[in-house]
Amino acid sequence: MTTEVDYYELLECTRTADDATIKASYRKLAMKYHPDKNGGCKDHEAKFKAVSEAYDCLKDPQKRAAYDRFGHAAFKNGGQGGFGGGGSGDFGGFSDIFESVFGEFMGGGRGGPQQQRRGADMRYDLEITLDDAFHGKSDEITVDVSSLCETCEGSGATPGTGTRACALCNGHGKVRSQQGPFVFERACPGCNGAGAVITDPCTKCRGEGRVDTTRTIPFEIPPGVDHGTKLRLQGRGEAGARGAPPGDLYIFLHVKKHAIFAREGTTLFARAPISFTTAALGGEIELPGFDGDTHTIRIAPGTQGGRELRQRGLGMPVLQGRGRGDLVVRIDVEMPTRLSAKQRELLEAFRETETGEECPESTGFFAKIKAALG
């Protein structure tokens, strides 16, 4: 007597699980127990068939409703067991499930050779200065990468020779096997899914159609890039096998800290220490910019330390846009640490003339303390 395992138990789901949860669980289990991944283990193959059968039932709303009501009996005797004659118990849709899950490494669609896989993408991390980020620049990097074999022009075959249809799969790139109602389809082991085999492999690339090389790749850094900006160089990654399209090269930019300027988006920040006399009497300071100009910052009389002065349009360029952000200058008032006798005499004379109205905040603060202490 054969024990029938509950479909929900097979898929490690509860009976209240939604479609997305059931599908996700099936994908995980199908990848885990797929025969190609387990060296043809009979136990795993049986488990794979069982979870596929369970999913084929539970993914269909009508079949799931019948199963929830009648269990496995719903699909016995030609599918009439409580299913209202609406089904035959046939799991012929398994091939569609198989291809939806494994189509990527099986090469997609049925009945034809496996589609060529593009080469792998590559990543390169590059450190640049804030000045480079402001102006942009032409640059180049040297990378080790697989490139198209020039000897065979990527075909993998010795020049003057070609390929022949794979005898194992008759040029289809896939082989099928059937066990009961289930049809298993996988990439042909004779040609790795290509549908053809090389009769005389190229001696330089050993039939791969690509060789390892060192390349110098030029590229442009546009003005306004920021820390973490990603540049994509299409087709400059690893070459694909046997003439397949190459991958892309991604350059990740890292902007080094600047000694004077900090940055947030398109806004630049700078700290400007000024003398207490400039803060009291007002004046001007000059600040050089990345644009090569010297910018005059006006200081109003009575400017307090910590005040931020915003200069419109003096910040970073807008990436792939127009205009520039702002420059924010934070004022720090510096007190003198060394005074000449004449300076001390003048300051003493100034202090004698103070009425308290010159610095209302400090005067008010100490008045509040006195009032609080009675």
Pick out the residues of the known binding site for Zn(2+). Answer: 149, 152, 166, 169, 188, 191, 202, 205
The letter for the amino acid at 307 is R
Dig out the tokens for 228 from the structure.
């973490």
| Residue showing tokens 């390169």 | 124
Contact by Cβ (8 Å): 104, 235: no
Angle at 329 between CA 324 and CA 333, to 5 degrees: 175
Name the β-bridge partners of 212. 146
Q: In this structure, is the dihedral angle defined by the CA atoms of residues 175, 53, 18 and 35, taken in order, positive or negative?
A: negative
Residues 6+ apart with CB under 8 A from 161: 198, 199, 200
| C-alpha span between 359 and 353 (Å, rounded) | 13
Angle at 120 between CA 116 and CA 126, to 5 degrees: 155
End-to-end CA distance of the chain: 98
Neighbours of 4 (CB within 10 A): 10
Contact by Cβ (8 Å): 213, 147: yes
- Residue 174 backbone phi and psi in degrees, to 5: -140, 150
| C-alpha span between 43 and 24 (Å, rounded) | 22
Residues in the chain: 374
The letter for the amino acid at 288 is P
Going by the annotation, the residues of the binding site are: 149, 152, 166, 169, 188, 191, 202, 205
